[in-house]
């Protein structure tokens, strides 16, 4: 059964018509990653990571042709979402005029902060963080598109 509410999007609000997940189980994380890879089939090879609310990896997958660095970017995008409570697009936009500050934040986190599109946060109807999806390998817009489509398909 699908429910409406605060789901995932670049702004994480229900006004974008994004489906929400009632709970992020291992089965749901695996399905999200499968749907991301299906949606990405017309783009360059991508990697996908799904993390829980603590930022711990639930699932990560790398398509043929993706390097370890691309997988690390997907993980960093997903973890950035849950650690900061926003999508990576919102993170990028928030610090667009403060390059020194975001650079310092990336350095402090040992490169585990990804201030570019492709990471979307998953929330329940009450706004609680369920986890996040990070996609890397295509353009940032394409990465983000794949993550949003996957969540909407659940």
How many residues are given for the chain? 154
For residue 135, list its beta bridge partners. 48
CB 75 within 8 A of CB 49: yes
69, two tokens: 């660095």
Q: Check: CB of residue 32 under 8 Å from CB of residue 51.
A: no
pLDDT for position 52: 95
> Is residue 50 predicted with pLDDT exceeding 50?
yes
> Tell me, what's the pLDDT at 63?
95
The predicted model gives 59-77 an average pLDDT of: 95
111 class by beta-carbon count within 10 Å (0-12 exposed, 13-18 middle, 19+ buried): exposed
31-47: average pLDDT:
95
Q: How far apart are CA 39 and CA 129, in angstroms?
A: 24
Which residue in 92, 97, 150, 88 sits closest to 118, CA to CA?
A: 88
Which DSSP state fits 95? T
Q: Could you give the CA distance from residue 15 to residue 53 in angstroms, rounded to a whole number?
A: 23
Q: What is the pLDDT of residues 89-125, one digit of tens each?
A: 999 999 888 878 888 888 888 878 899 999 999 988 8
Compute the average pLDDT of residues 64-73: 94
The helix (run of H) or strand (run of E) holding residue 139 is: none
Extract the tokens encoding 75: 């993980």
Question: Taken in order 51, 32, 130, 27, is the CA torsion positive or negative?
Answer: negative
pLDDT for 7 equals: 39
The answer to whether the CB of 18 falls within 8 A of the CB of 32 is no
């Amino acid at each position: 059964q699908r429910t409406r509410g605060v789901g995932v999007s670049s702004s994480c609000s229900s006004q974008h018509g994004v489906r929400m997940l009632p709970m992020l189980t291992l089965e749901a994380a695996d399905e999200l990653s499968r749907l991301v890879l299906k949606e990405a089939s017309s783009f360059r090879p991508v990697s996908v990571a799904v993390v829980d609310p603590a930022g711990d990896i639930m699932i990560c997958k790398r398509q043929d042709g993706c390097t370890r660095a691309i997988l690390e970017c997907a993980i960093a995008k997903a973890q950035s979402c849950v650690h900061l409570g926003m999508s990576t697009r919102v993170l990028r936009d928030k610090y667009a005029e403060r390059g020194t500050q975001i650079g310092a934040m990336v350095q402090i986190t040992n490169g585990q902060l990804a201030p570019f599109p492709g990471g979307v946060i998953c929330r329940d109807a009450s706004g609680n963080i369920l986890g996040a999806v990070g996609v890397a390998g295509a353009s940032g817009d394409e990465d983000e598109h794949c993550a949003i489509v996957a969540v909407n398909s659940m």
